Chain A
Amino acid sequence: MTDKIRQILKDHGRLSKDAMSLEEGADLYQAGMTSHASVNVMLALEGEFEIEFPDHMLKRSVFESIQAMRGAIEELTKGA
């Protein structure tokens, strides 16, 4: 899952750092991800993992790191 998240960040995150080697806990907004880029990342994650982020999960903390995104995806795919 982490590799897929990294690839999506590489394709859509517009990061100033290499998404493939970024620390899992690194702050993606500090790494250059704009609000618009975060929408693209969210849509790409939804497509890749066949999920839909509900409104209450559309907050900075859910998309601020690879680790946080993985946790949110695991929560949404739990029991699927």
Chain B
Amino acid sequence: MNMEVGIDLVQVSRVEASLARFGERFLRRVFTDTEIAYATSAPTRTAERLAARFAAKEAAIKALDLADRQVGIGWRQIEVAREQSGKCRLILHGAARDAAADAGVAELSVSLTHEGDYSAAVVLAVRADRKPSKNVEETTGA
């Protein structure tokens, strides 16, 4: 077994600026319906929640080593899902799911944090010794 880690830091006020400048288009190109619903359910925390989710997507790209592999990945293909307990997990879709499976990633874990004007995320990708099936979405469980 081997692991890769990814981290990303996003300034919340810059996400607010993107929302002000590009509005719905920024939301719909980057975030899934579920992510938008959660982030906008608390209007005073929308930008903070979006910033953390954007950081998670970028951290996942790093942990999965997708940037250097020149794989075209839409941000919506990496989704942060929130369980009732508050714990977050990553769900991969489409090309992101396929790339992770091809890389032998069996499990992903994500952690989000906020402080002041910054949100950050860390993603851990665990590769199994044996190449798993392509359906990473069902095997992450993180």
Residues of A within 8 A of B (CB): 35-36, 39-40, 42-44, 46-47, 54-62
Contacts and interface: CB of A to CB of B under 8 A. Distances in A.
A35 B58 contact: yes
A61 B18 contact: no
B interface: dominant SS: helix
Nearest to A60: B67
B70 A39 contact: no
Contact of B73 (A36, A40, A44, A59): A59
Contacts of B8: 35
Main secondary structure of the interface of A (DSSP, over half): helix
Nearest to B93: A55
Interface residues of B, number: 27
B25 interface: yes
Contact of A61 (B21, B70, B77, B95): B70
A56 B67 CA distance: 13
A36 B95 contact: no
25 contacts: A35-B54, A36-B10, A36-B15, A39-B18, A39-B26, A39-B29, A39-B54, A40-B22, A42-B29, A43-B21, A43-B26, A43-B29, A44-B22, A47-B22, A54-B72, A55-B73, A55-B74, A55-B77, A55-B94, A56-B95, A58-B72, A59-B72, A60-B67, A61-B70, A62-B72
